[in-house]
């Protein structure tokens, strides 16, 4: 009978989106944080394992199944932990999403400013009347190209570097969180 239950649990854990086996509830949280479960910081190891497991999962319908020894389960603690996990994932989803959008917005501003200066440079080259203005226009070419290239880097590279965290927290903010016994 025990073998059948263990096999069923193993099958459920394999079919679920993300399944982690815990020895105790504190495996989810930082060892250095003594606060209660509903306030405690999440463990970097726990988050790293979640990220690895969520990498290949599609957004929507993800289940986070946490298996605990049957004799250590406590429904009240589990409710607090579920609430804490949801708060953490939602908070970081909003933060990471804002960070990606801000980098893209900054990139667009930089490119726009660079293009505006380039237009001024071209206009100045056509209508420059003395060597002082010609020198000033030539000097302005450098910051204009810098702004264009760095703005494009922000849009195309920096935002892409931040997206994996935003995607992870997006997936996890909508995940169903379940505790199971083993």
Lookup: tokens for 99? 């960070």
Sheet-wide strand order for 63-68: 18-21, 63-68, 176-181
Greatest distance between any 2 Cα atoms in the chain: 95
20: number of CA atoms within 13 Å, CB side? 21
108: number of CA atoms within 13 Å, CB side? 6
Q: According to the model, what pLDDT value does residue 115 have?
A: 97
Q: According to the model, what pLDDT value does residue 66 have?
A: 95
Q: What is the pLDDT along the chain (182 residues), one digit of tens a residue?
A: 556 666 665 655 555 488 899 999 999 999 898 898 888 999 999 999 999 988 888 777 789 999 999 999 999 999 999 999 999 999 999 999 999 999 999 999 999 999 999 999 888 888 777 887 788 888 899 999 999 999 999 999 999 999 999 999 999 998 999 999 98
**pTM higher than the cut 0.85:** no
CA 66 remoteness from chain centre: 21
Q: According to the model, what pLDDT value does residue 42 have?
A: 95
CB-neighbour burial class of residue 68 (10 A; exposed 0-12, middle 13-18, buried 19+): buried
Contact between 73 and 119 under an 8 Å Cβ cutoff? The reply is no
Domain parsing of the chain, residue ranges:
2-92+174-181, 95-167
């Amino acid at each position: 009978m025990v073998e059948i239950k263990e096999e069923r649990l193993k099958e459920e854990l394999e079919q679920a989106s993300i399944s982690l086996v815990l020895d105790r509830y504190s495996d989810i949280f930082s060892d250095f944080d003594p606060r209660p479960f509903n306030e405690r910081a999440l463990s970097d190891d726990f988050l790293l394992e979640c990220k690895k497991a969520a990498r290949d999962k599609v957004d929507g319908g993800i289940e986070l199944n946490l298996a605990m020894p049957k004799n250590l389960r406590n429904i009240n603690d589990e409710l607090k932990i579920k609430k804490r996990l949801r708060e953490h994932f939602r908070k970081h989803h909003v933060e990471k999403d804002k960070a990606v959008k801000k980098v893209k917005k900054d990139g667009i501003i930089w490119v726009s400013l660079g293009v505006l200066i380039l237009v001024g440079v071209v206009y100045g080259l056509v209508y420059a009347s003395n060597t002082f203005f010609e020198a000033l226009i030539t000097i302005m070419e450098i910051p204009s190209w810098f702004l264009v290239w760095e703005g494009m880097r922000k849009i195309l590279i920096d935002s892409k570097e931040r997206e994996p965290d935003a995607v992870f927290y997006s997936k996890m903010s909508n995940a169903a969180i379940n505790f199971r016994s083993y």
